[in-house]
Structure 1
């Protein structure tokens, strides 16, 4: 199975973006429709009946009709919440991919290698003699960068 790193790095969000935008539009439309239905119900059903009905049966019926309005309000709120979650998730995924691609590009520009699992290595220091003070300084200097790139890439 492909690693999360490889899937995020290579994922094509172009179709997903269009699908997510259509999904968000549909959920927002549902929310708006529920708001309109609540207002219509209040204006044409509950409101007029509330003014003219009297007695225990009327109170029970009005309680039921107000519960219907409340449920419509819940659907309105939850539909808007779903739209927000879908849109936010799409934005976060695209942002994470951009940040990951930028981190990999920067690492490769500095001559580090990034494998298919997101592990960063430094081939430029692999063949340096371990007991040479100049080589040790090069390794030390590049180790800081190596750690930074590993942190950036594995944080995605």
Structure 2
């Protein structure tokens, strides 16, 4: 039996090697012009396609190390904050069953006999959206973003913030 640290290291190494393999294979497939055309015609590019096709002003793409760093951020930090946000939403709905019931009714009305939510359905769920946003406001997965003003700023309503 392995220790949690060792198991975690083995799991991390496995994930990193898997990600490296996926990046390498996708990069290789983009060298094929037909595959590149097919990807560019897709309505919605996936995250890795966007990164692999990105070029700077000199036409240079991301190096393997930069690609890996971006994919790591998306895969690990993104999943962590998403899981935290969903957990808080479920907690808030459990804590306030009357709001949970209103969300359930709204979703049932929109879905009817269907069992899955379609993209078009999202705009028809204002109460559920409101509850999700309120939960995120009360319990943000990333609670603070620190910024330091380099110069004072005045907003259109007349309020202002000083430098620093």
Normalization by structure 2: what TM-score?
0.29
Answer 1 or 2: which has greater helix percent: 1
Normalization by structure 1: what TM-score?
0.30
Q: Structure with the greater relative contact order (CA < 8 A, sep ≥ 6): 1 or 2?
A: 1
Higher radius of gyration, 1 or 2:
1
